[in-house]
Structure 1
Amino acid sequence: MVRLHIEKLVAGGLGLARTPSGTALVQGGLPGETVEAELWQRKNHLEGRVIRVLEAHPARYLEALPPSADLPLEYPYQLPIKQLLVQESLERIGKLQFELAPVQPSPSYTAQPGLYYRTAAQYALHPLGGLAYRRPRSNELVPIPHDPLIAEPLQPAFELLSGWPLANLEEVVLRGSIYEQKVQIGFIGGHARHFQKTAQALVQEGIAGVVWGASSPKGRFRGPLQHLAGTPHLLEDFGGVLSSVNVQSFAQVNPRAAGLLFQEAAQVVEPGRKAVELYAGSGVLSLHLAHRFTEVVAIEINPSAVKRGEADRDRLGVQNLVFVRDDARVLGRHLPADLVMVDPPRAGLAPEVLAGLLEKKPRQILYIACDPATWARDIGRLVQGGYRLRFARPYDFYPFTHHVEVLSLLSL
Structure 2
Amino acid sequence: MLSFVEGRMVVGCVPCHARRMDEQHPHEVDLEITGIAHGGVSVARLDGRVVFVTDTLPGERVRARLSDTSKRSFWRADTVEVIEASPHRTAHVWAEAGIDRDPSERAGGAEFGHIALTHQRALKAEVLTDSLARFAGLRRDVEVLGVEDDDATDGTGWRTRVRAHVDADGVVGPFASRSHRVIPVAGYPLAVPAAAALIPSRLAPGTAEWVDVVAPSAGEPVVLTGSGRTPHGGAGIVERVGDREFRLDASGFWQVHRNAAAVLSSAVASAVASDGRFDPAAANHDLYGGVGLLAAALAGVGGASTRVTSVESSATATEFASENLADWIGARAETARVDRYLDGLARTASPRERERLRAATIVLDPPRQGAGAAVVDRLLELRPQTLVYVACDPVALSRDLGRLLAGGYELGGLTGYDLFPHTHHVEAVAVLHRG
Show the 5 A alignment for 1:11-90.
Answer: 11-39=38-66, 40-62=69-91, 63=93, 64=95, 65=97, 66-72=107-113, 73-90=115-132
Cα offsets for 1:91-119 (capped at 9, x unmatched): 1221111243x322122269423100000
The residue that corresponds to 1:192 in the other structure is none
Q: Is the contact made by 1:241 and 1:284 (CA closer than 8 Å) also made in structure 2?
A: no
- The equivalent position to 2:307 in structure 1, one of 272, 275, 295, is 295
Q: Aligned residue for 2:292?
A: 283
CA deviation after TM superposition for structure 1 residue 162, in Å? 2.7
Deviations 1:17-69 (A, max 9, x none): 12323222222221222112234252433333323322233332324254210
- 8 Å Cα contact 1:301-1:327 kept in structure 2: yes
| Aligned counterparts of 1:75 and 1:265: Cα–Cα separation in 2 | 25
Q: Is the 8 A contact 2:166 2:203 kept in 1?
A: no
Residue by residue over 1:311-331, the C-alpha shift from the partner in whole angstroms, topping out at 9 and shown as x without a partner, is: 2223xx232211011110122
Match of 1:234 in 2: 237
Deviation of 1:163 after TM superposition, in Å, equals 6.1
For the 8 Å contact 1:266–1:288, the answer to whether it is kept is yes
On the 8 A contact 1:106/1:114 being kept in 2, the answer is: no
Q: Note if contact 1:35-1:54 (Cα within 8 Å) is conserved in structure 2.
A: yes
CA distance in 2, matches of 1:90, 1:164: 45
1:155 and 2:192 matched: no
Give, in whole Å, the separation in 2 of the partners of 1:141 and 1:387. Answer: 46
Verify: 1:331 aligned to 2:342, yes or no. Answer: yes
Whether the 8 Å CA contact 2:172–2:182 is kept in 1: the answer is no
Structure 2: distance between partners of 1:41 and 1:301: 38
Give the 5 Å matches for 1:135-146: 135-146=176-187
Q: TM-score, normalised by structure 2?
A: 0.80
Moved more, 296-305 or 13-22: 13-22
1:402 aligns with 2:402: no
Q: Which residue of structure 2 lines up, in the alignment, with residue 264 of structure 1?
A: 267
Q: Aligned with 2:259: secondary structure?
A: helix
Structure 1: unaligned runs, 5 residues or longer: 190-214
Aligned-pair CA distance for 1:354: 1.0
Give the conservation status (yes or no) of the 8 Å contact 2:62–2:81. yes
Q: TM-score, normalised by structure 1?
A: 0.84
Report if the CA contact (8 A) 2:248-2:317 is conserved: no
Give the structure 1 partner of residue 223 of structure 2. 185
SS in 2 for 1:157: coil
- Which runs of structure 2 are paired with 1:215-230 in the superposition (5 Å)? 215=228, 220-221=229-230, 227=233
Q: How far off its partner does 1:132 sit?
A: 1.0
Distance, in Å, in 2 between the alignment partners of 1:309 and 1:86 is 31
Contact preservation (8 Å) 1:343, 1:367: yes
**Other structure's SS at 1:141 match:** coil
CA separation of 1:139 and 1:99: change in aligned 2, threshold 3 A:
closer
Q: Render the CA deviation track for 1:366-397: whole Å, top value 9, x for unaligned.
A: 10111000101111111111111101000111
2:322 matches 1:319: no
The Cα RMSD (Å) is 2.2
Which position in structure 2 is the counterpart of 1:168? Answer: 207
Gap change, CA 1:245 and 1:397, over 3 Å in 2: farther
Match in the other structure for 1:211: none
Match of 1:116 among 157, 169, 178: 157
What count of residue pairs does the alignment treat as equivalent? 371
Kindly indicate whether the alpha-carbon contact (under 8 Å) linking 1:236 and 1:244 is maintained by their aligned counterparts in 2.
yes
One-letter code of the match for 2:290?
G
Question: Higher relative contact order by CA 8 Å / sep ≥ 6: 1 or 2?
Answer: 1
Distance 1:61 1:130 in 2: 29
- Distance in 2 (CA, whole Å) between partners of 1:240 and 1:60 is 40
Q: Among residues 135, 144, 147, which one is paired with 1:93 in the alignment?
A: 135
CA contact (8 A) 1:151 1:178 kept: no
In the TM superposition, residue 9 of structure 1 has moved relative to its aligned partner by: 1.6
Matched, 1:340 2:362: yes
**Which residue does 1:199 correspond to in 2?**
none
Amino acid of the residue matched to residue 164 of structure 2?
Y
Letter in 2 for 1:25: F
User: Do the aligned residues in 2 keep the contact of 1:108 with 1:115 (CA within 8 Å)?
Assistant: no
1:371 to 393, 397, 405: 393
Superposed CA deviations along residues 239-292 of structure 1, whole A, max 9, x for unmatched, are 543222443111111131331121121111231122111111111000111133
Q: Secondary structure at the match of 2:81?
A: strand
Paired residues of 2:237 and 2:250 also in contact (CA < 8 A)? no
Post-superposition Cα deviations, 1:323-377, rounded to whole Å, max 9, x if no partner, equal 0111101225175241111111111113221111111211111101110001011
